[in-house]
């Protein structure tokens, strides 16, 4: 098993390495791949030193699996070249997500759709992943009519330069601006670029990816995505209207027994999910469960996950683990 991590020097890339280490992911050979300016850099994994190689060299090494986190244009150019030499690419960018010939996979929900000849597999957007992991078991039980979601997204979702902007602002130092405005002590209702319909691309990702992952175009989704000055993870206020009525205790029981989900719903003891406590955790946390008293069959909840973990690295590594477990890689 030869594994490549493409974009190994980035924020998600280093998280992928951490998750591979924690999960004791079994490989015989590891290739750390990055853009030309990082080639030759030495990185350490499990006490062993690795020299970062370029994309061309990595293709010539024909890895079995390549986990990509190198941005959309790199992925569009290079993923097909890896696929052509037989590599299975698991891609973190948005490049292939809505391509009808590519699977958009959250292992807990639809890994069973993967086939031996899938060569480019898309990892969904972070804010979508954490929402669908929680909603899927409830969808199977009650059927989902409509989702209204508002997000509170960590600066780590933008990358290292955004973290640097926020920390410089916090320290009162001159900051290199990644966002159009100050982010520390501020909130930006603007993630990714605005679309002609007035929504941002991030908002439309939540709409379109949710339908594709559930394999159900009838689920109605509307989103407002917001950047907040936090680092540990993304938070979401989710209002979901079901087709059937539900019992709140049953909802709690379903979520408490859902793999990958941790129920933190004890407001009397101030127990609810927060980015601070979700940080560096692979699971998705849900709490503040309460009936929407303004409308029948409708539930309010608060969902938090480390966007670099389940929202990116963990989900991608779990796809690779599924491929190995099912002898597909
Ligand atoms: C963000 N969704 O948080 C992005 C990262 N993929 O900006």
Question: Which residues on adjacent β-strands are paired with residue 152?
Answer: 235
* Cβ contact 156:163 at 8 Å: yes
Asked whether residue 153 is marked as a ligand-binding residue, the answer is yes
187-196: pLDDT as tens digits: 999 999 999 9
138-180: pLDDT as tens digits: 999 999 999 999 999 999 999 999 999 999 999 999 999 999 9
d(CA 74, CA 78): 6
Ligand 1 centroid from CA 279, angstroms? 16
Q: Give the gyration radius of the chain's Cα atoms.
A: 20
* Cβ contact 1:26 at 8 Å: yes
Ligand 1 centroid from CA 157, angstroms? 4
**Which residue's CA lies nearest to atom 7 of ligand 1?**
157
Identify the CATH number of the domain in which residue 134 sits: 3.30.360.10
Q: Are residues 119 and 195 in the same domain?
A: no
Q: Are residues 115 and 132 in the same domain?
A: no
**Which residue's CA lies nearest to atom 1 of ligand 1?**
157
Asked whether residue 143 is marked as a ligand-binding residue, the answer is no
Q: Are residues 101 and 186 in the same domain?
A: no
**Averaged pLDDT for residues 214-222:** 98
pTM over 0.90: yes
Q: Are residues 144 and 251 in the same domain?
A: yes
Q: Are residues 145 and 264 in the same domain?
A: yes
Report in angstroms the alpha-carbon separations of 271 from 149, 237, 280, 285, 301.
Answer: 21, 16, 19, 11, 13
By DSSP bridging, strand 120-122 and strand 234-242 are unpaired
Q: Are residues 178 and 265 in the same domain?
A: yes
Q: Are residues 298 and 151 in the same domain?
A: yes
Residue 95 — very low, low, confident or very high, per pLDDT cuts 50/70/90?
A: very high
Q: Are residues 214 and 230 in the same domain?
A: yes
Q: Are residues 273 and 318 in the same domain?
A: no
pLDDT for position 189: 98
Asked whether residue 151 is marked as a ligand-binding residue, the answer is no
Q: Are residues 150 and 211 in the same domain?
A: yes
**Averaged pLDDT for residues 5-16:** 97
Residue 237, H or E segment: strand 234-242
41-54: pLDDT as tens digits: 999 999 999 999 99
**Averaged pLDDT for residues 62-66:** 98
The ligand 1 site (C-beta within 6 Å) comprises 125-127, 153, 157-158, 191, 202, 307
Residue 61 — very low, low, confident or very high, per pLDDT cuts 50/70/90?
A: very high
pLDDT for position 154: 98
Identify the CATH number of the domain in which residue 17 sits: 3.40.50.720
Q: Are residues 31 and 146 in the same domain?
A: no
* Cβ contact 305:135 at 8 Å: no
Look at the chain and report how many structural domains it folds into. 2
**Which residue's CA lies nearest to atom 5 of ligand 1?**
157
Ligand 1 centroid from CA 125, angstroms? 7
pLDDT for position 305: 98
Q: Give residues with Cβ within 8 angstroms of 104, minimum separation 6.
A: 97, 98, 110, 122, 124, 209, 212, 213
- Which residue range forms the structural domain that includes residue 73? 2-124+312-325
Question: Which residues on adjacent β-strands are paired with residue 3?
Answer: 30, 65
Q: Are residues 205 and 85 in the same domain?
A: no
Tell whether ipTM is more than 0.95: yes
């Amino acid at each position: 098993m030869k594994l490549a991590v493409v974009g190994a020097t980035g924020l998600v890339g280093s998280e992928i390495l951490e998750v591979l280490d924690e999960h004791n992911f079994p490989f015989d050979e590891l290739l750390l791949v990055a853009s030309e300016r990082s080639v030759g850099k030495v990185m350490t994994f499990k006490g062993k030193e690795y020299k970062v190689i370029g994309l061309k060299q990595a293709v010539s090494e024909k890895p079995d699996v390549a986990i990509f986190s190198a941005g959309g244009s790199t992925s569009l150019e290079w993923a097909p070249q890896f696929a052509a030499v037989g590599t299975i690419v698991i891609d973190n960018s948005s490049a292939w997500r809505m391509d009808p010939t590519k699977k958009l996979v959250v292992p807990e929900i639809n890994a069973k759709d993967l086939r031996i000849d899938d060569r480019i597999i898309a990892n969904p957007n972070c804010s979508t992943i954490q929402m669908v992991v929680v909603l899927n078991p409830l969808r199977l039980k009650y059927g989902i009519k409509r989702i209204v979601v508002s997000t509170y997204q960590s600066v780590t979702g933008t990358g290292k330069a955004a973290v640097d902007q926020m920390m410089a602002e916090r320290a009162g130092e001159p900051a290199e601006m990644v966002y159009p405005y100050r982010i520390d002590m501020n909130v930006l209702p603007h993630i990714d670029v605005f679309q002609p319909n007035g929504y941002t691309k991030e908002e439309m990702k939540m709409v379109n990816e949710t339908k594709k992952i559930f394999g159900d175009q009838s689920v109605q989704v509307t989103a407002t995505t917001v950047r907040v000055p936090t680092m540990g993870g993304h938070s979401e206020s989710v209002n979901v209207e079901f087709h059937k009525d539900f019992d709140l205790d049953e909802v709690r029981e379903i979520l408490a027994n859902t793999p990958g989900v941790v129920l933190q719903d004890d407001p009397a003891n101030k127990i609810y999910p927060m980015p601070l406590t979700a940080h560096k955790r692979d699971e998705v946390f849900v709490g503040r469960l309460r009936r929407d008293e303004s409308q029948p069959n409708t539930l309010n909840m608060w969902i938090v996950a480390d966007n670099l973990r389940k929202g990116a690295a963990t989900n991608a590594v779990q796809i690779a683990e599924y491929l190995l477990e099912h002898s597909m890689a």
